[in-house]
Structure 1
Amino acid sequence: MTGTLRIRDRLWKVIVEFLSTGLFTANYVLAPLGVVWVAANTPSSVRGLAALLGVPTIWMFPSFTAALLTGVIYPMHSENTKSADIDWVFGILIGSVVLTAVWFLPAWENSWTSLAETLAPLRVSSMFDRLWLMGLSWIACIPLMISTSLGTATDNIEEKSLPSETGQTDEPDSSAQSTTEHKHKSPQNSDNSDPLHPTLDDLEYNWKLAPNVGFWDVGGQDELKKEIIRSVLRPLTRVDEAYERFNVSPPNGILLYGSPGTGKTLFARAIAGELGHPYLELSAGDIKSRWINESTEQVNRLFDEAEQFDRCVIFIDEIDALLAGRGNELHREHAQVVNEFLAHLDDEDPNFLVIAATNRADLLDEAATRRGRFDQQYEIGLPSRDAREEIFRVRLCDLPTALDEDDYLELADRSDGLSSADIVGIVDDAAMHAAERDAEAITPTDLHESFPSTSERTT
């Protein structure tokens, strides 16, 4: 059945949005009412003091409990934490309306009896009994609570939106087209002469806007995605007090390693796409030169151009050719290149993230994997059965197909031992077969005929 995975993903997203907004809404109703209940149930001798202290508590307490809720809500949104912040804003607004209705319940309960009966369980006994007291207490408590909470939530949204606030329009990266659309904005404007927003055409390296690729385009690798979100995306996209408290810094570089065709390049593009920063994709051969000192100059030019952006992502494939171990048998030029590259990677507060890929991590110079450089290493291996099924679904989701659930399961079983690139090739060949015979949809036969032969798998 075409698009089942996409429908399931969208349904889960809707459920998460409703649940998140509901939890935040409940917080901004129950937290202040809880403070009122505590004040109303203190001994009469200190009730006046409790009521006085309750005013600033209502200002601050809902924001504190909402911050605790984020520990539950944000993981449900995966990498899309901005969506959680938007739910937070809606929760504040809806919760404030409900709280106000409960606050003034005695003033209107005779006009809308059915609604009053619904909200009656939230009414705190002996809270307020006169209209002027309701209005005065509401003015003293609720507006500042709303403004404080909205300030926190909207600040989070603005921080996540900073890369897109310079007016850059969305343009797809032609080198990284995807079967699904992910719209990310780049921090630079091609018409802006500000040195922090360079014109891409004026740079020597082939810088691009953020790739139109995200984690949705990467089939499987769920655990790796979660780890990347935790250790890379979250530190780079959120100003987190906990990170600042413990002086936790985002990584300068991460290393993806594994056999050829396992999807390292796609994963790197997905990370860049999720971050939404300008992106440069190159191989070690684009930096190394046969001329004396030219490679070192190329390295310096690379990072000089990177410094012109607010934030950027650099992906270097075949990094082992650039940062191979420095032995006595190697030319002095190579040692200089390694030293220069690692010196840039040691920047304390860099504006870049370097993503490197290699098929041979064992060839890297030991200094390259030292703490603060490529110390975060992730293996991209052959996809599991579930991952293979998901890759087929992702690659086929926007193509006309005549497949049911059993077909996807059969494809996953039959592709055992194949890499992500192999599966992409199978889908591309099947699409070609269907187009050649002017078919309405890709059939299971088209896909099965596109599988490599046994002899091709073993070569």
Structure 2
Amino acid sequence: MDGQEYTTSNTAKQSRNIFQAGITLAISTVVSSACYILAPLGVLLASSKLASYVGVLIPALLSLVAIPLFPLAVAIIVFSAIDRVFNKNYYIIDRGWLFGIIIGSVILTLVWFLPLWEHSWPGLAQKLLPLRLSGLFNELWMMSLSWIAYVPMMIYANFGAVTPGNDSSTVQEARNAETSSLKNSVEGSQAHKNTADQSDKKSAEQTELSYNWQPAPETRFTDIGGMDDRKNDLRRSVLRPLIGADAAYERFNVSPPNGILLHGPPGTGKTLLAHAIAGELGHPYLELSAGDIKSRWINESTEQVNRLFIEAQQFERCVIFIDEIDALLAGRDDDLHREHAQVVNEFLAHLDAEDPNFLVIAATNRADLLDDAVTRRGRFDQQYEIGLPDHEAREAIFRVCLRDRPTTLDEEAYQELADRTKGCSSADIVGIVDDAAMSAAERDAEAITQEDLTAAVSDSNR
């Protein structure tokens, strides 16, 4: 998926979300309006029936309690149903219920005082007449007293309960129970099912993103000096099976890897190589460190891992790069906290997916610390040691770093720089070029000279 496809996908998804929000708001408003019209009238009708047997006092007292609470009870039930259907879009549902309370209360008031205005708007009065109950009385003082006793109390109790940000215990407990149920359901299914399940993908499309997903990086293999063998291996085993249909791979049922592990000393270009792989694939990209996932709170790290892969499912294809993976997936020794073992298990459960829509690239300076189960077949199948660059690679790195900057270097100068930087990492060479560029800029030179670079090499060796 290139940048244009990524933008188109996001635009289509935003349109779906807007449409879904509108439908959610409309349904919530209609159902809420009906609730706040019919529920109070139903209570009054039941009270009038009861009054014929036990007198007026007891039904009147029961109505004072039932009219505020009965609509709220109906609201809680419908809340749960709409939450489940529309993926817990609480803010939109809350707005719908607020509109419904207002609309319902206005219509209920019109029904209550219908004798006062029916001659002015006979058409509307005729439509509302079926809702008119004998218990509402026709005398103005009785209508007013009964309205004051019932309707404002109902509005106050229900309006406060569904106002966004309000922590009304009745509605909030129902909502929390629903959220907990759905959350446990997702976590349980993710632990025991493949993350590529199609129904899960559909749900993930509506998941609000908490990680910083980005379009594919602009970095390509041509931006990396050296590592020719590594780049050829990656083209053969990763890019070729992932980019388009390859008849040879399909014929022998060869699947692309779920994960790639890059290991080696610091500063050797593991992160840059991960950027280049994602750039060559053209997929949406997420870069994390182990610290972005791990948490000091119990169970939160496991939830973070689970959410990471749920979010990944919204894309047709994506690349996830995790640096310092050893801090996240270290060996599960008996001495380690149980929470760590759960994190490793959760991560591996997702990595075991068949035909996943994600590629996980992990980097570490200490591959020896990883749990044995992490590096077995079917997980990080492709493992590459990214060591210090040799002479040819160092020369190539200088050429890449200097190709967009004015220089006076000739072929012999590149050879000499490669000789002088033996034992330097890729990051060291990048720093040397940056220091030389700064030196040339400070003296307002026309180009970076060999002397600038030689001085920068000497400074880096001190």
Q: Which TM-score bucket, shorter chain as reference?
A: 0.5 to 0.7
1:367 equivalenced with 2:404 (yes/no)? no
**Alpha-carbon distance in 2 for matches of 1:429, 1:199:** 46
Kindly indicate whether the alpha-carbon contact (under 8 Å) linking 2:258 and 2:381 is maintained by their aligned counterparts in 1.
Answer: no
Q: What residue identity is the alignment partner of 2:366?
A: R
1:357 equivalenced with 2:363 (yes/no)? yes
1:191 equivalenced with 2:191 (yes/no)? no
Taking structure 1 as reference, are residues 433 and 455 closer, same or farther at Cα in structure 2, changes over 3 Å only?
closer
**Alpha-carbon distance in 1 for matches of 2:283, 2:460:** 42
**Alpha-carbon distance in 2 for matches of 1:409, 1:203:** 48
Shift of 1:245: 2.1
Shift of 1:186: 3.9
Q: What residue identity is the alignment partner of 1:191?
A: T
Shift of 1:429: 0.8
TM alignment of 1:39-438, pairs within 5 A: 163-164=1-2, 168-169=3-4, 186=6, 189-193=9-13, 203-438=209-444
Kindly indicate whether the alpha-carbon contact (under 8 Å) linking 2:436 and 2:448 is maintained by their aligned counterparts in 1.
Answer: yes
Taking structure 1 as reference, are residues 246 and 273 closer, same or farther at Cα in structure 2, changes over 3 Å only?
same
**Alpha-carbon distance in 2 for matches of 1:400, 1:199:** 47
Name structure 1 gaps, 5 residues minimum. 1-162, 170-184
Q: What residue identity is the alignment partner of 1:413?
A: D
**Alpha-carbon distance in 1 for matches of 2:274, 2:286:** 11
Q: SS in structure 1 opposite 2:363? A: strand
Q: SS in structure 2 opposite 1:299? A: helix
Shift of 1:454: 7.4
| 4+ residue segments displaced more than 2 Å | 185-192, 194-202, 452-456
Q: What residue identity is the alignment partner of 2:390?
A: S
Kindly indicate whether the alpha-carbon contact (under 8 Å) linking 2:289 and 2:323 is maintained by their aligned counterparts in 1.
Answer: yes
Kindly indicate whether the alpha-carbon contact (under 8 Å) linking 1:346 and 1:372 is maintained by their aligned counterparts in 2.
Answer: yes
Kindly indicate whether the alpha-carbon contact (under 8 Å) linking 2:205 and 2:314 is maintained by their aligned counterparts in 1.
Answer: no
Aligned residues: 276
Q: What residue identity is the alignment partner of 1:381?
A: G
Q: SS in structure 1 opposite 2:12? A: coil
Q: What residue identity is the alignment partner of 2:261?
A: L
Aligned match of 2:448 in 428, 439, 442? 442
Q: What residue identity is the alignment partner of 1:192?
A: A
**Alpha-carbon distance in 2 for matches of 1:424, 1:348:** 39
Shift of 1:203: 1.8
Superposition TM-score, scaled by structure 1 size: 0.58
Q: What residue identity is the alignment partner of 2:438?
A: M
Shift of 1:200: 12
The one-character-per-residue Cα deviations of 1:106-127 (angstroms, maximum 9, x if unpaired) are xxxxxxxxxxxxxxxxxxxxxx
**Which residue of the partner structure matches residue 27 of structure 1?**
none
**Alpha-carbon distance in 2 for matches of 1:352, 1:294:** 22
Shift of 1:215: 0.2
**Which residue of the partner structure matches residue 62 of structure 2?**
none
Q: What residue identity is the alignment partner of 2:213?
A: W
Shift of 1:438: 1.0
**Alpha-carbon distance in 1 for matches of 2:290, 2:460:** 33
Shift of 1:371: 0.7
Which structure: greater helix fraction? 2
Q: SS in structure 1 opposite 2:297? A: coil
Kindly indicate whether the alpha-carbon contact (under 8 Å) linking 1:277 and 1:311 is maintained by their aligned counterparts in 2.
Answer: yes
**Alpha-carbon distance in 1 for matches of 2:458, 2:314:** 46
Q: What residue identity is the alignment partner of 2:372?
A: E
Shift of 1:449: 1.2
Kindly indicate whether the alpha-carbon contact (under 8 Å) linking 1:403 and 1:443 is maintained by their aligned counterparts in 2.
Answer: yes
**Alpha-carbon distance in 1 for matches of 2:254, 2:439:** 52
Q: SS in structure 2 opposite 1:281? A: strand
Taking structure 1 as reference, are residues 188 and 257 closer, same or farther at Cα in structure 2, changes over 3 Å only?
farther
Q: SS in structure 2 opposite 1:451? A: helix
Shift of 1:398: 0.5
Kindly indicate whether the alpha-carbon contact (under 8 Å) linking 1:316 and 1:355 is maintained by their aligned counterparts in 2.
Answer: yes
**Alpha-carbon distance in 2 for matches of 1:452, 1:199:** 54
Name structure 2 gaps, 5 residues minimum. 18-200
Q: SS in structure 1 opposite 2:457? A: coil
Kindly indicate whether the alpha-carbon contact (under 8 Å) linking 2:263 and 2:386 is maintained by their aligned counterparts in 1.
Answer: yes
1:451 equivalenced with 2:457 (yes/no)? yes
Larger radius of gyration: 2
Identity %: 71
Q: What residue identity is the alignment partner of 2:228?
A: D
**Alpha-carbon distance in 1 for matches of 2:253, 2:402:** 44
Taking structure 1 as reference, are residues 188 and 313 closer, same or farther at Cα in structure 2, changes over 3 Å only?
farther
**Alpha-carbon distance in 2 for matches of 1:454, 1:442:** 17
The one-character-per-residue Cα deviations of 1:238-277 (angstroms, maximum 9, x if unpaired) are 3122212221100000100000000000000000000000
Taking structure 1 as reference, are residues 455 and 352 closer, same or farther at Cα in structure 2, changes over 3 Å only?
same
Kindly indicate whether the alpha-carbon contact (under 8 Å) linking 2:264 and 2:387 is maintained by their aligned counterparts in 1.
Answer: yes
**Alpha-carbon distance in 2 for matches of 1:417, 1:188:** 46
The one-character-per-residue Cα deviations of 1:74-119 (angstroms, maximum 9, x if unpaired) are xxxxxxxxxxxxxxxxxxxxxxxxxxxxxxxxxxxxxxxxxxxxxx
Superposition TM-score, scaled by structure 2 size: 0.57
Q: What residue identity is the alignment partner of 2:452?
A: D
Taking structure 1 as reference, are residues 421 and 455 closer, same or farther at Cα in structure 2, changes over 3 Å only?
closer
Q: What residue identity is the alignment partner of 1:419?
A: S
- Provide the aligned C-alpha RMSD in A: 2.1
